[in-house]
Amino acid sequence: MAAPSLLNWRRVSSFTGPVPRARHGHRAVAIRELMIIFGGGNEGIADELHVYNTVTNQWFLPAVRGDIPPGCAAHGFVCDGTRILVFGGMVEYGRYSNELYELQASRWLWKKVKPHPPSSGLPPCPRLGHSFSLYGNKCYLFGGLANESEDSNNNVPRYLNDFYELELQHGSGVVGWSIPVTKGIVPSPRESHTAVIYCKRDSGSPKMYVFGGMCGARLDDLWQLDLETMSWSKPETKGTVPLPRSLHTASVIGNKMYIFGGWVPHKGENIETSPHDCEWRCTSSFSYLNLDTAEWTTLVSDSQEDKKNSRPRPRAGHCAVAIGTRLYFWSGRDGYKKALNSQVCCKDLWYLDTEKPPAPSQVQLIKATTNSFHVKWDEVPTVEGYLLQLNTDLPYQAASSDSSASPNMQGVRMDPHRQGSNSIIPNSISDIVNSVKSEHTAMKGTSVKNKPDLKASNDSNASLHSSLSANASNHNSCVVDMLRKNEGPHTSANIGVLSSCLDLRTVIPETSVSSTVSSAQTMVTQQTIKTESSSTNGAVVKDETSLTAFSTKAEVDETCALPATKISRVEAHAATMPFSKETPSNPVAMVKAGERQWCDVGIFKNNTALVSQFYLLPKGKQSISKIGNADVPDYSLLKKQDLVPGTGYRFRVAAINGCGIGPFSKISEFKTCIPGFPGAPSAVRISKNVEGIHLSWEPPTSPSGNILEYSAYLAIRTAQIQDNPSQLVFMRIYCGLKTSCIVTAGQLANAHIDYTSRPAIVFRISAKNEKGYGPATQVRWLQECHCW
């Protein structure tokens, strides 16, 4: 974790949609990139459900239905997959609840649930300020504050330390409450404490950690409950324990429990001598407990003043949500003056990256031309940009002050026309193409039609805009050809095809015929496969007889969901990111990798890039600008070098967040095209018939001469695939001039079902002209029934 002085808080200053009114006592959970907020109070208790999309910076109010619960504050709020449970809380002043509601967030459907009472004892009484924690299929309720008086206007507080277990049914519904028998000394009664559950990776039993709270006075004690043995203990800790507090938040990321904010004793007060009478105030102190070593670390002390508004101001009753390794904080109250009987709520949203981002997936190819690549990689959650680098076997022409930015390179040895007889053997299960050294990567990304927002999230980002603007000229937009969706009446599964310009290097969005296409959600998965073949246009440079291929699945945006008789052209923009000057990172325009030097392509905001040039450092110079904590190249001062036809390039990418640059991905290798080969077939359609299925396609939009024949291939089952599912094996099922073929039920019976995401059968189709075979279009045919 970064030292306190290097913490890089970010305030979200630009967002859209209906922003919820400021409040305290609300709760929040995360479902993927969504932060979902419910309840809280400020001039009345709020009953709306608000959602914030951390990717699009958009607030929205979902149209909920069903048994909508009343507004509540200081309630229990947990998330199990896409369902959320709400228990208890204050529904009006002096009146507390013990009702349980379930929200199915996939449908925004509320349902009031009635768990069975414990076999012995009473169910939980109405309460607020309790902890409600989820682990597995059980929720754990501890403590809180009850009202002893039957008159809600006459509040007689009773602090609780009872402990309940709530068993959940799978997917929806609950079984009932139970009262576990615990061992050891039970923590003292309290409310407005926190409780988190943590289990060491690969070892140990899950443990619940209770910290702080209120019982007439604020508390700073830490308790541990082993959920297997149900034994309470008070672990000994090292380091500086945070001040006594209540109404704080506790969030677990990795093996650390982060404690932020809350009410703490006023400076100079001696809480040991007068715990009930001393003044209390809000704090912005920030600490974490290493749950493996039981050591506290202070990141922001209570005495540190913030004169530059560079971090959240003191607050209590706020909410905190962990999304990936990023912590989000929203609203809360920043003080309470008894004399004035007033309180002020914060309206701000902040986040903090707690560690460097993980490595993205390998760079994957969408499309290649003779002098450019359109590439993408796995989207890493909660990052601010990506550093893309490349290197090549060609000698670099290091730039001097008067050298050309794009030297002409000659002498590349290639044999793009080599055509062996062993590339594809048709019509036989035993005669197959064995794929070798395949690598599989899961990829989550956004539709290629999305246009990245070049506006920085805060003003400091503008400082790098000019230095990175040269990247925008690196082909800042392109048109991805032939993104299609098949909706014919006899089509059993819809397919989308995105053609590439390298042999068997394709991106294929897909939908099932029964699915609802949503422009707000996109899921993409991706794999890299190397197969033996003699078609070498665009092959990797290590082996002239190898081809690179990968498939991508996605839910197609509404704008791409066109009838089969139409063609949709979808724009994909690759843009550089005006990166924040506050972000610590250490990109270097040229870094030695063995005997190779890695050159920066640039820093990109989104997970796609159109690459036609890369940057060179001046010979013998280090053109590095010191910006904040980061050493960032001033790209406007660097020379650029163009990509060369028929040349192999290696790519790697690293994600960047507020903690700096993470590790680089594994290396991918692509080759620019050689002019003259045909493009990929387009408009692939699949429909069932009595013999099996009918597979049809349209000729390439750029045939580069006469098409001599087409070949279609089917991924088939082999023992090799069973041992390594990502190592696909293909058999040719058709070769001829027609733009359609029948795939028989017998052939389909031997098809490999690809489970990289939704089950699908994989086809490839390619065209041949006088120069040879061009790139293949790969199609995943979604299967409702997984067998033939």
Ranges 27-31, 281-285, 386-390, 494-498: which has the least confidence: 494-498
Residue 142 has pLDDT above 60, yes or no: yes
**pLDDT reading at 597 higher than 80:** yes
754, amino acid identity: D
Q: DSSP readout, 476-537?
A: --EEEEEE-----TT-SS-B--EEEEETTEEE--B--TTSPP-SS----EEEEEEEE-S--T
**Which residues have C-beta within 8 Å of that of residue 718, sequence separation ≥ 6?**
432, 729, 752
Nearest-angstrom CA–CA distance, 469 and 649 = 24
Of 414-418, 740-744, 780-784, the one with minimum mean pLDDT is 414-418
User: What domains appear along the chain, each with residue ranges and CATH number?
Assistant: 15-268+277-353 (2.120.10.80), 364-394+597-621+635-671 (2.60.40.10), 685-782 (2.60.40.10)
pLDDT tens digit string along 463-474? Answer: 323 332 333 333
Give the CA distances from residue 162 to residues 110, 121, 221, in Å, rounded to whole numbers and listed in that order: 28, 11, 17
Q: Around Cβ 33, how many Cβ atoms within 10 Å?
A: 16
| pLDDT at position 401 | 37
On the question of pLDDT at 111 being above 70, the answer is: yes
As a whole number of angstroms, the distance between CA 726 and CA 439 comes to 7
Given this model, what pLDDT does residue 680 score?
Answer: 79
pLDDT reading at 220 higher than 90: yes
* Residues 596 and 641: beta-carbon distance below 8 Å: no
- Check if the beta carbon of residue 160 is closer than 8 Å to that of residue 141: no
Q: Which residues contact 5 (CB under 8 A, 6 or more apart)?
A: none
Q: Which two tokens stand for residue 774?
A: 């061009």
In this prediction, residue 724 carries a pLDDT of 62
**Greater model confidence, 422 or 733:** 733
What gap in Å lies between CA 88 and CA 69, rounded to an integer? 11
Tell me how long the chain is.
788
Tens of pLDDT, residues 729-756: 899 999 999 999 999 999 999 999 887 6
Tokens 């407990």 correspond to what residue? Answer: 289
pLDDT at 588 over 90: no
pLDDT over threshold 50, residue 395: yes
The CA-atom distances, in angstroms, between 513 and each of 398, 517, 693, 763 are 54, 10, 16, 18
239: left (phi over 0), alpha (psi -120 to 50) or beta: left
Task: Give the amino acid at 596.
Answer: R
Residue where the block lists tokens 């959600």: 521
Six-digit token string for 622 = 């280090």
- pLDDT over 70 at 711, yes or no: yes
Q: What percent of the chain has pLDDT over 70?
A: 67
pLDDT-derived band at 278 (thresholds 50, 70, 90) equals low
Residue type, 533: S
pLDDT, position 396 = 57
Which tokens hold the place of 34? Answer: 């969504």
User: What gap in Å lies between CA 212 and CA 142, rounded to an integer?
Assistant: 13
Query: Which pLDDT belongs to residue 722?
Result: 61
